């Protein structure tokens, strides 16, 4: 596939292979690692706009950026109130961020029932108002959405045009409907419809677990770039494979462990890194046995000791 920069408003990415926002996973050390492996753009976990406006400390923790991170700083926010969405974009907490992504695709019932995430596909007028208000903040704005709520209500082309007309600088399209959650085949044609409908950059998302998947998604949709989600959870070095970067996997994971401990503390780092290293073991010899050993670790030192004996 063709690697190229993407122009997002006033910004230029280093390439067109992006890391998607992943709730519970794309914290600062994980984003750093994916960026080092070659990701052209990385996003924070989705953050509540109202949580930011009300000064939630837990919400602010999601926004940590490492001092040595020199890429574009991108945050994803969610909500359904145009006032609070704009206020969040203008907040001190988001001042360090160059790009704000609006979540209009989350399928999780709790978010959907609250009228947020993919529920906004039900209300084009409200979705447009949110984008317009966020643009008034002066930030570069992107929107991530799904192709529809179900197979009988595909809206990718129309919703893409709505986003562009409202002022979005880029869109990312997840090629599944809301009812599919994260299962089922990616609808390449629906993403292609979005691409045909607009002139702003279109990033295709869904089903990338290897380089061949990325190439297929890119070629069959005509998108300007692709976005890796769950595939990066299991193999963050997928970015190196797609872009041709050299990757020292074990060194990178050790650095992830150290940064996670330094930023979030011993207890969180131990639990989180047990889970992450367990993911990275997928497909390796004796993975089940190694995971069992890993989950008995009570300190990050024990996790690191196990890590040192692994071969990814």
What DSSP letter does each residue of 185-234 carry, written as one string? ---HHHHHHHHHH-SS-EEEES--SSHHHHHHHHHHH--SEEEE-HHHHH
Across the strands, what pairs with 104?
Answer: 145
Task: Answer whether residue 16 shows pLDDT above 80.
Answer: yes
Residue 299 and residue 273 in contact, taking contact as beta carbons nearer than 8 Å? no
Q: What is the pLDDT of residues 122-148, one digit of tens each?
A: 999 999 999 999 999 999 999 999 999
Write down the pLDDT at residue 285.
82
The residue ranges of every structural domain in the chain are 7-243, 249-308
In 3D space, the residue among 70, 102, 104, 80 whose CA is nearest the CA of residue 89 turns out to be 102
Provide the strand spans (E) within the chain. 7-8, 11-12, 17-19, 41-48, 73-78, 99-104, 140-146, 170-174, 202-205, 225-228
Q: What is the pLDDT of residues 24-60, one digit of tens each?
A: 999 999 999 999 999 999 999 999 999 999 887 788 7
Name the token pair of 168. Answer: 């979005």
Q: What is the pLDDT of residues 136-192, one digit of tens each?
A: 999 999 999 999 999 889 999 999 999 999 999 999 999 999 998 888 899 999 999
Fold held by 7-243: TIM Barrel (3.20.20)
Task: Answer whether residue 312 shows pLDDT above 80.
Answer: no
Q: What is the pLDDT of residues 51-89, one digit of tens each?
A: 999 887 788 789 999 998 999 999 999 999 999 999 999
Quick one: what percent of the chain has pLDDT higher than 90? Answer: 86
Write down the pLDDT at residue 183.
84
Distance CA 200, CA 223 (A): 11
For residue 234, name the pLDDT band (cuts at 50, 70, 90): very high
Distance CA 13, CA 39 (A): 9
For residue 115, name the pLDDT band (cuts at 50, 70, 90): very high
The pTM (predicted TM-score) of the whole model is: 0.95
Residue 303 and residue 297 in contact, taking contact as beta carbons nearer than 8 Å? yes
Task: Answer whether residue 290 shows pLDDT above 90.
Answer: no
Task: Answer whether residue 1 shows pLDDT above 80.
Answer: no
- Catalytic residue positions? 106
Write down the pLDDT at residue 164.
98
Which residues lie below 8 Å from residue 34, measured CB to CB, with a gap of 6+?
A: 19, 42, 232, 236, 239
> Which 8-state DSSP code applies to residue 7?
E
Residue 263 three-state SS: helix
Distance CA 265, CA 184 (A): 38
Write down the pLDDT at residue 309.
85
Mean pLDDT of the chain: 95
Quick one: what percent of the chain has pLDDT higher than 70? Answer: 100
């Amino acid at each position: 596939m063709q690697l190229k920069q993407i122009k997002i408003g006033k910004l230029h990415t280093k390439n067109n292979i992006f890391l998607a926002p992943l709730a519970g996973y794309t914290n600062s050390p994980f984003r750093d690692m994916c960026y080092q492996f070659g990701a052209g753009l990385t996003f924070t976990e989705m953050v509540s706009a109202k949580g930011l406006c009300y000064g939630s400390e837990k919400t602010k923790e999601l926004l940590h950026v490492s001092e040595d991170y020199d890429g574009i700083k991108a945050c994803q926010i969610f909500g359904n109130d145009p006032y609070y969405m704009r206020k969040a974009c203008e907040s001190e907490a988001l001042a360090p961020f160059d790009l704000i992504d609006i979540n209009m695709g989350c399928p999780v019932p709790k978010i959907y029932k609250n009228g947020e995430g993919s529920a906004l596909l039900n209300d084009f007028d409200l979705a447009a108002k949110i984008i317009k208000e966020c643009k008034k903040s002066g930030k570069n704005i992107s929107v991530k959405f799904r192709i529809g709520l179900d197979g009988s209500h595909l809206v990718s082309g129309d919703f893409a045009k709505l986003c562009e007309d409202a002022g979005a600088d880029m869109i990312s399209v997840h090629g599944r409907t809301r009812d599919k959650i994260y299962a089922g085949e990616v609808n390449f044609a629906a993403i292609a419809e979005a691409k045909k409908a607009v002139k702003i950059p279109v990033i295709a998302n869904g089903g990338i677990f290897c380089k061949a998947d990325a190439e297929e998604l890119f070629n069959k949709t005509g998108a300007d770039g692709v976005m890796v989600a769950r595939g990066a959870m299991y193999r963050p070095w997928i970015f190196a494979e797609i872009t041709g970067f050299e990757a020292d996997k074990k060194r990178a994971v050790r650095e992830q462990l150290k940064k996670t401990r330094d930023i979030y503390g011993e207890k969180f780092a131990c639990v989180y890194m047990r889970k992450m290293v367990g993911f990275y073991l997928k497909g390796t010899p004796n993975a089940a046995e190694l995971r069992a050993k890993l989950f008995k670790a009570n300190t990050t030192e024990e996790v690191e000791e196990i890590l040192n004996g692994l071969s990814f």
